[in-house]
A and B are shown apart, each in its own frame.
Chain A
Amino acid sequence: MTTVEANITITEIMSPPLQTKGASHDELSSTHADGHNRSQKWDFWIDNYLVEWGRNPSLFDTTEIKPPSKSIIHLACRLARESRDAGLAPPLRIVPDGEGGISFERKSESGFQSLNFLAEGIVELLTFQNSKLVARENFSVPPLFMD
């Protein structure tokens, strides 16, 4: 398993390294209808989850978990909007990690990825293939997005 420290843009994080049946990124986002569906799905996650978590932390049972922090929600929203606007595929689901962080999870025939926004401000991308964690990449977060 490789562990990499990378200086990379947020949009590059969300570019799909997991290809579906060998289709290129262009093929995946080739039609206007596909692009509209993707945009709608991103908006679904942004409006019904990320924004709501910021507005209403009581949605969670705080006796068991720590809700995502506002700074992490802000960062995740920014990435989600940039990814939507870039026409990238939305995640399978967006999940709080229970400790103030958020994960974007994606699954395809070639594997599974989890983009984790950790509460301490680190962003990491975990890649699983054939039931193995094959890569853990860490990305620096600009101080602007920290509390």
Chain B
Amino acid sequence: MLAEFRDYLTASLADLGDVVRFLMRLLVNTPRALLRGDLIIAQIYNAGTLSLVIIMLSGLFVGMVLGLQGFQLLQRFGSEEALGTAATIGLVKELGPVVTALLFAGRAGTALASELGLMRATDQLSAMEMMAVDPIQRVVVPRFLGGVIAMPLLAAIFSMIGIYGAQLIGVQFMGVDSGSFWSQMQASVDLEDVTEGIVKSAVFGVACSLIAVYEGYHAMPTAEGVGQATTRTVVTSAVVTLFLDYLITAMFL
């Protein structure tokens, strides 16, 4: 039992080391990949623009739920005016970055992993190597950077839409005063709260994109292998996101 746990631990550590080495490889290749703006734009499109609808819809509903729940709770204390503060803090610091990262893993991460896995399975990556084109630089790094750039923007859009969703419920339906909704929010939300959210989404962007391209690039070249890679992408991204969320929250305290 103890030995099993120790083996598991060493295996996980080795995996982590492998991922970090992969990240280094990506970073080394980043300067040259940056010269190919067209490739990165295409990947921002894939990771960002194509995720926009799901992010905006989810943001709206999460915001509306916050508006409803927050109102019910705050009403008991007679301070419905704090709804703007509560919803904004919740969205900007936690729900925005975390839910965006989870949705990103499900929408863009799986797409990345399966795309790379299929390219591996159909020899497209080897073919590039044989054409003296480094697939890391040509294929993997642009996808990684696209995700890294898209994530903070997606999280910000999520939070913004969410705040308007909370405002819609709180102000339009529940009758919270619009002026105090906004002025209380502005008085009690610090720039540091927003910074924390941005830092989180940036870190999640690196983590989720890295996991997706790592799993895809190292997928076993079979249909089953590609399936496993996409599954692992979602599961690992979710766990890592929540773990990092705790870590960053603790750091900002």
A and B physically associate: no
Residues of chain A touching chain B, judged by Cβ–Cβ distance below 8 Å, are none
